[in-house]
């Protein structure tokens, strides 16, 4: 049985912004697009902002309507990457195996380390204190027998919580939770589950696995396994990512306004993924496929950015230059590449002297 930690930095972007500007403490803070333009989405929001119904990936214009008195900032993405590296450097001192899942999430494998570190709960509390004292960043930690359980656990008692799911208790722990707690259950699946009377994870496990295999194929089998407390036990080796892209296929479309709306959403997705990694991109790529399957691609190199508005405006301009035929469109896509990851800078962390 393995021992996996999942460490999730609480409201990470907001926490970093408050280190840089302490006057933001206690205020509803929103990191994302500029509400003056009405474009972009919420990359992160403080717990104070969440009280007004705001959440990540919400359109910025909706956020502004719900919380017009909030503090809206574009974000200090170079600093996000800096502090993320600092956290990882601390964790490397203790974790034999570590996987950075995103800019604010880390998996660690402490299997066989109980004799070294003692109580898992006490050691998790120690890691929390290390990160809080040295970097002023709060975090929550989940401990479980696999990555899925540990990740769900870290989200249970936010902020600054620790949840330890003891081996053998996974199914009981998950049973009362909403089905959308399981990673990978999206809006479409959730709606389908609700139509079948499946609201809680125990509603899944009360049915036979064959039911989900027949209804959802391999996805259904994997979902059932996670509902029973299963999940991947091994951490992934980090590989260099060369590009980020999203595409959308349609039934034949001729409306430019419709294409513009869909491209806007795709741009939001790729830029959000970019910001989650703490990167900027200097090349924008678009793809246009006609109904006769003729496909055009175009790219443009710009000053490194992670701004939705900049990326969208350039992508749409390229799309309209490419769309020259009176033929319906079957697919559009947008991608980003040539990343500035900030991590190429030399590490200069002196933990006892950091005063940022």
- The single residue listed with the structure tokens 């049973």 is 175
Active-site annotation holder among 48, 105, 170, 280? 105
3-class secondary-structure state, position 97:
strand
- The 8 Å CB, 24+ separation contacts for 117-126 are 120/3, 120/164, 121/162, 121/164, 124/5, 124/162, 124/164, 125/162
The two structure tokens encoding residue 329: 């469109």
Would you give the distance in Å from CA 46 to the centre of its chain?
Answer: 16
Give the separation between CA 43 and CA 48, rounded to whole angstroms.
Answer: 15
Give the separation between CA 256 and CA 90, rounded to whole angstroms.
Answer: 50
The two structure tokens encoding residue 355: 């005063």
The Cβ of residue 80 has, within 10 Å, a number of other Cβ atoms equal to: 27
The two structure tokens encoding residue 176: 């009362």
- The single residue listed with the structure tokens 């990851």 is 341
DSSP characters over 240-290: ---EEEEEEEEEEE--HHHHHHHHHHHHHHHHHHHHHTT-EEEEEEEEEEE
**Active site (annotated) includes residue 352:** no
Q: What is the DSSP pairing of strand 71-73 with strand 29-32?
A: parallel
Catalytic site residues?
Answer: 105
């Amino acid at each position: 049985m393995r021992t996996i930690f999942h460490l999730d930095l609480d409201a990470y972007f907001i926490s970093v912004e408050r280190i840089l500007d302490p006057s933001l403490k206690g205020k509803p803070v929103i990191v994302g697009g500029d509400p003056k333009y009405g474009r972009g989405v919420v990359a992160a929001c403080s717990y104070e902002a969440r009280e007004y119904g705001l959440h990540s990936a919400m359109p910025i214009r909706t956020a502004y309507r719900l919380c017009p008195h909030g503090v809206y900032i574009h974000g200090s993405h170079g600093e996000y990457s800096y502090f993320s590296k600092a956290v990882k450097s601390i964790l490397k001192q203790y974790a034999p195996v570590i996987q950075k899942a995103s800019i604010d999430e880390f998996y660690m494998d402490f299997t066989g380390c109980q004799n070294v570190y003692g109580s898992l709960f006490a050691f998790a509390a120690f890691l929390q204190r290390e990160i809080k004292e040295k970097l002023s960043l709060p975090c929550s930690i989940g401990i479980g027998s696999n990555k899925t359980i540990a990740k769900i656990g870290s989200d249970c008692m936010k902020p600054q919580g620790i949840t330890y799911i003891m081996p053998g208790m996974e199914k009981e722990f998950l049973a009362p939770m909403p089905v959308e707690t399981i990673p990978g259950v999206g809006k479409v699946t959730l709606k389908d589950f609700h139509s079948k009377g499946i609201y809680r994870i125990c509603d899944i496990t009360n049915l036979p696995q064959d039911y989900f295999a027949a209804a959802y194929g391999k996805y259904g089998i994997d979902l059932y396994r996670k509902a029973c407390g299963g999940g991947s036990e091994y951490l992934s080796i980090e590989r260099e990512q060369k590009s980020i892209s999203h595409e959308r296929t349609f039934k034949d479309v001729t409306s430019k306004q419709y294409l513009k709306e869909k491209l806007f959403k795709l741009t939001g997705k790729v830029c959000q993924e970019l910001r989650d990694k703490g990167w900027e991109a200097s090349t924008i790529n678009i793809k246009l496929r006609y109904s006769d399957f003729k496909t055009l691609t175009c790219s443009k190199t710009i000053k490194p950015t992670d701004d939705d508005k900049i990326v969208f405006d350039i992508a749409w301009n390229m799309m309209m230059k490419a769309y020259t035929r009176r033929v319906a469109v079957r697919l559009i896509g947008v991608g980003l590449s040539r990343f500035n990851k900030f991590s190429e800078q030399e590490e200069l962390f002196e933990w006892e002297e950091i005063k940022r």
